[in-house]
Amino acid sequence: MKPGVLVISHGSREKGWVSLVDEAVQQLASRMDIPVVASYLELVEGRLIQDGITTLEDQGVTDIVVIPLFVSSGSTHMDEIAYAIGAKPVPDMETDLGPFQVQARVHFGSPMDDDPTIAAMVWDKVRALSTDPAREVILLVGHGSKHDLFRHRWEKGIMSLARRVSEVSGTSADYALLSPGDVRDKVTAWLERGREVIVAPLFLSEGYFTENVIPDRLAGLSCRYSGRTLLPHPLLPQWMESQAKRLLQSLKS
């Protein structure tokens, strides 16, 4: 048995987005003594998921530990990737993503969801905006989904994550989703209750949603928003390492 790690994230046309993921994966690789490869679902030519699988198998890897670098189990991409890579027999929703060519055994990990490490990262990103925790509420804003099954998964994970953020920060925390679209309603409701609202974007890296969509939803509302995403952060490589080691340990049992 020769294991290797395949980190899968969405991808972007923005080189800065890809660079942040690559840097985090390189830090992970420096902690591991097995091959580690970063791959992308789309938009990064020559580094797609099949390219990553092939790179590992060409190095003799027999067991691929997959770390899905997504913030929620509610991502439809999580579902289609798990299916296409052979981690589940059928997808929960129809997908155009066909099965990958994989000879190695696949061991599929979990997305971030409500992991305590992610809660600590969220708090670190908005800590500077907090001045009076007793009067504040941290509002986590995630992408969400228009599909009921996936929206429920989103809600379950982000609701639990909000509780963890509240515990680590000592302030109240809540959540909202861009789809179906309750961000503005949630902010308004908290403001009417006399709370100061700090908005924390639950996105891996900065881009269209954090720079355009969320600010548009917050237009005219008296709240604090830094736009700071999870990356870069030193805890993310640690989170990936813990994921990888957990899966590797299961191979030995």
Tokens at residue 178, please? 């861009």
Q: What's the pLDDT band for 180 if we cut at 50, 70, 90?
A: confident
* Higher per-residue confidence, 230 vs 252: 230
Rounded distance, CA 165 to CA 169, Å? Answer: 6
CATH number of 116-225: 3.40.50.1400
Residue 252 has pLDDT above 80, yes or no: no
In sign, the C-alpha dihedral spanning 67, 71, 72, 78 is: negative
Q: What's the pLDDT band for 253 if we cut at 50, 70, 90?
A: low
Residue 61 has pLDDT above 70, yes or no: yes
From-to residues of CATH 3.40.50.1400 in the chain = 3-111+233-252, 116-225
Rounded distance, CA 251 to CA 244, Å? Answer: 11
3-111+233-252: what fold? Rossmann fold (3.40.50)
Chain segment 114-165, per-residue pLDDT in tens: 999 999 999 999 999 999 999 999 999 999 999 999 999 999 999 999 999 9
Block residue for tokens 């969220």: 122
Tokens at residue 216, please? 């548009």
pLDDT at 82: 97
Residue 207 has pLDDT above 70, yes or no: yes
The answer to whether 56 and 3 have CB atoms below 8 angstroms apart is: no
pTM, whole model, 2 decimals?
A: 0.94
